[in-house]
Structure 1
Amino acid sequence: MESTESGSPDPGPASEMLDFLRRYSREQLDSRRADERRGFHLSLIPDLAHAGLLGLQIPQRYHGQELSHSDTVKVWRQSGAIDCNLLILLAVHNTLGVPPIQDFASEDVRSAVLPELAQGRRLVTSAISEHGMGSHVRSISAGATKRPDGSYVLNGGKQWISLGADASYVNVFARLTDENGQDAGITGFLVDASSPGFVRGPEVITLGLKAVPQNSLSLENLHVPAERLLGEEGKGLLAAKTAFTHGRLMLAAGSVGAAMRALELTQRFARRREVATGNLAENGRIQQIIAESVAAIQAVETLTEHIVDRLDSGREVPEPFYFAAKILGCELMWQVVDRCVQLLGARGFVDTNVVGQFFRDYRLFRIFEGTTEAITVYLGSMILKHPQQFFSVFDDFDVDHTLGEYISRIDKLATTTTTTGRQRHILANQIGELACWAIVAVLSADGRHRSSMFAHTASWTEQQLLGKLQAAEDSRPFVELPTADELARYIGDFEESIGNVEQRRPGIQHDLDLLLRRG
């Protein structure tokens, strides 16, 4: 590796990887071509493997890099600034694929599989989502049946599987039926993709993130040896949760990198652009938007740094912190990217100016690993069930009087009486969102004395929390909503206004001609 270039971070375990990624992005990557061709160039995987990027946190005894959480987050941030496809390729392998094996497989399996993954000879992913469910793991319908010899047979389908057709190993989560025909709970299995009965489905044509394939998978009487179990029978949720937890931190860190890159380009433009009111960067409204964007980036970065500091020091991370990282990390990044498209004007709508492709690619982050709405309601529901368990997380911080008052008001809101399930969902969403903002506001307040920009971020996060708190309080009592049937009937009438416009022109034929197929 070449020496650390100017502007690189201080030397450390990840510094050579960051240097490699920056140099590689300049000399080898072509994001536009990858987007158009729906795939990377052929040398990418061996190049990434040679740089150690496919074994980030795999222990050195298995030929991995054994990076700290802090250094791993730096890799995610750097990758996010370069290309969403690159980030997701690395992240699916390292966060969704590796941890269930590293933490739950037997030592024999780890010794056989992890060196292959760390050295890039094989890729791995996890198959959780199904056609009828996304990240709601408890709704899994794919089935596994235990045989008398202790092995298992899997049947069912999986959908939206990143690298599903390219990975050599897939962590499959299925609902187990024991030898007596009883439901034994969701169980994890390490599946070799070359096994008979593992059927790769077609690639989904996505809005963005086109270079990383999303496939459906079919499991047709697929045999899995007993030793390929991930953890205990019926305890697959633990392995799946491990993958999701790593993924939420990755999404926040990658989002920081993406937002940084988009804002960097926008700032260059604003400083050079003259408009009717003068220089664009000197326009007060534009300054306000840019300052808010910087504050959003800094708030999420503060949150991710706090999480990795806890992890690297062996301290427990409260689960709501991971939810806050996913929810606010992805939502605020998307706001920054969207604003950058707007501030760039016509140049923002030109797809070759980087930010346009970011706009398409990173839109997925508000959906990936659970939509913002779904997991915000889930987080809020957990807090409503056990409010003191959540509010006790602030005991570790020196919370000032103002923020303490806001947190008390959130606690009071959590006691709101709801009369319908719909009201309960709305309340849960409000509490979940307020919880996320309370976390980042408290963390940002801790750093307000570091610089004037940190002081601005602390004030901005506090204002965001207050604004959302007041809006939640003002919505009492809840406005009665139309029923689901009423909404469906009204929207169903739209066809009378717009007509039937479904397109049925024949597309490209991909199947082999009937006369050329095997009999």
Structure 2
Amino acid sequence: MSDVELFRTTEDHEALREAVREVCEAKIGPHAAAVDEQSRFPSEALRALTATDFHAPHIPEEYDGVGADALATCIVIEEVARVCASSSLIPAVNKLGTMPVILAASDELKQRYLPPVARGEAMFSYGLSEANAGSDTAGMTCKAVEQPDGSFVLNGQKSWITNAGESEFYTVMAVTEPDAPRGRNVSAFVVERSDEGFTFGAPEKKMGIKGSPTRELLFDDCRIPGDRLVGERGEGLRLALHTLDHTRVTIGAQAIGIAQGALDFSLGYVKERRQFGKAVADFQGVQFMLADMAMKLEAARQLVYVAAAKSERGDADLTFFGAAAKCYAADVAMEVTTDAVQLLGGYGYTKDFPVERMMRDAKITQIYEGTNQIQRVVMARQLLR
């Protein structure tokens, strides 16, 4: 891919966008307000995405997937987030949960766990953070102790796990080498929802993305067969961070989708709403707001798409670009959705219109998969290397 091609989506990408948008507007968007109001999982979205193979488009063809590239996967997530951020976490978290398996698991493990996700029979979540190990992931205390028969027994918990309880499979990071150096003592495992000793905490009561359940994973002498180890022992944290290099790009895609939804609604509103005898859109102050919203959104989109191209190629500078794309797009999403609420005035502050939901949903993009403060630390480290 040449440098010029980095900034151009293909005809296939744009055809994909059109197809996903059609599904989203017909089958997902109409339920978004109810999903938020009732804090319920968007089952309509799961059915619609599974029926069209948009639920986990990143899974390679050899594992029954459609083999969408990283940019195509971002476009799917972006378009779903445009109408419902909660629903966009179905394809986003399926990628997050499976990425360690794709990057490091044995082919036997890939053959066991990727096809059910590709076929829509299961979802896959990711367990890294803990109550006292959020940004400081190396400070985790969840342990996996090897047994004489080669199995591992897990004890501990994981916090803020997206789609917990709905997903069938979980990539879980746990300390296996307590005497090893910090950061080289963690291993990755696949845990199944049905494993004995594995339970869930109560759903968190959240500001936004209310349709995506967020719960603790609780392990009480949970025995895991040894063949569920993902990659090498002691390399789990390195694998977790490498995974995030790729999946932070998808959170950037979610952020620009939320922002696009807010901008689209705002444009329609200000053209219809009349004050002082003319459309609100005719006031120059409003036009400047709209121009700034669109300008920043397009800048964020280009950064996300370039990062997606780098993710697809596995470029050496992906760590910087993944962090930059997530950080900038999330900040823009928060700004654009806040301005959207402002443009609607008093109506924007009510649940009668979707921009207040989009503003609440946008906030989490600045926090999860590494806060935007952590993204700036990551970028600075890359610059100073």
TM-score, normalising length: structure 1? 0.68
Aligned to 2:167: 167
Q: Decide whether aligned partners of structure 1 residues 73 and 99 sit closer, same or farther in structure 2, where only a CA change above 3 A counts.
A: same
Q: Decide whether aligned partners of structure 1 residues 320 and 41 sit closer, same or farther in structure 2, where only a CA change above 3 A counts.
A: closer
Q: Decide whether aligned partners of structure 1 residues 189 and 55 sit closer, same or farther in structure 2, where only a CA change above 3 A counts.
A: same
Distance, in Å, in 1 between the alignment partners of 2:18 and 2:41 is 20
Ranges in structure 1 where 5+ consecutive residues have no aligned partner: 1-8, 390-519
Give 2:35's aligned amino acid.
A
Aligned to 1:54: 55
CA contact (8 A) 2:104 2:231 kept: yes
CA contact (8 A) 1:17 1:51 kept: no
1:258-286 CA distances to partner (integer Å, 9 max, x unpaired)? 21221121122222333349542232222
CA contact (8 A) 2:144 2:174 kept: yes
Aligned to 1:286: 286
1:417-473 CA distances to partner (integer Å, 9 max, x unpaired)? xxxxxxxxxxxxxxxxxxxxxxxxxxxxxxxxxxxxxxxxxxxxxxxxxxxxxxxxx
Shift of 1:338: 0.1
Aligned to 2:308: 308
SS of residue paired to 1:160: strand
Which moves more between the two structures, 28-37 or 70-79?
Answer: 28-37
Runs of 4 or more, structure 1, over 6 Å off, are 181-184
Residues 1:366 and 2:374 are matched in the alignment: no
Distance, in Å, in 2 between the alignment partners of 1:329 and 1:158 is 27
Matches within 5 A, 1:130-169: 130-169=130-169
Ranges in structure 2 where 5+ consecutive residues have no aligned partner: 1-8
Shift of 1:312: 4.3
Which moves more between the two structures, 366-375 or 11-20?
Answer: 11-20
Aligned to 1:262: 262
Shift of 1:37: 2.1
- Number of equivalent positions: 374
Residues 1:72 and 2:104 are matched in the alignment: no
Q: Decide whether aligned partners of structure 1 residues 73 and 137 sit closer, same or farther in structure 2, where only a CA change above 3 A counts.
A: same
Residues 1:82 and 2:45 are matched in the alignment: no
Aligned to 1:473: none
Q: Decide whether aligned partners of structure 1 residues 365 and 20 sit closer, same or farther in structure 2, where only a CA change above 3 A counts.
A: closer
Aligned to 1:201: 201
SS of residue paired to 2:186: strand
Q: Decide whether aligned partners of structure 1 residues 137 and 83 sit closer, same or farther in structure 2, where only a CA change above 3 A counts.
A: same
Aligned to 1:441: none
Percent identical: 24
Give 1:86's aligned amino acid.
S
Shift of 1:173: 0.3
Shift of 1:194: 0.8
Give 1:371's aligned amino acid.
T
Aligned to 2:220: 220
Which of the two has higher C-alpha Rg? 1
Structure with the bigger RCO (C-alpha within 8 Å, sep 6+) is 2
Aligned to 2:40: 39
Distance, in Å, in 2 between the alignment partners of 1:98 and 1:164 is 14
CA contact (8 A) 1:146 1:177 kept: no
Q: Decide whether aligned partners of structure 1 residues 212 and 314 sit closer, same or farther in structure 2, where only a CA change above 3 A counts.
A: closer
Q: Decide whether aligned partners of structure 1 residues 263 and 54 sit closer, same or farther in structure 2, where only a CA change above 3 A counts.
A: closer
Aligned to 1:337: 337
Aligned to 2:191: 191
Give 2:56's aligned amino acid.
G
TM-score, normalising length: structure 2? 0.90
Q: CA RMSD in A?
A: 2.3
Aligned to 1:177: 177
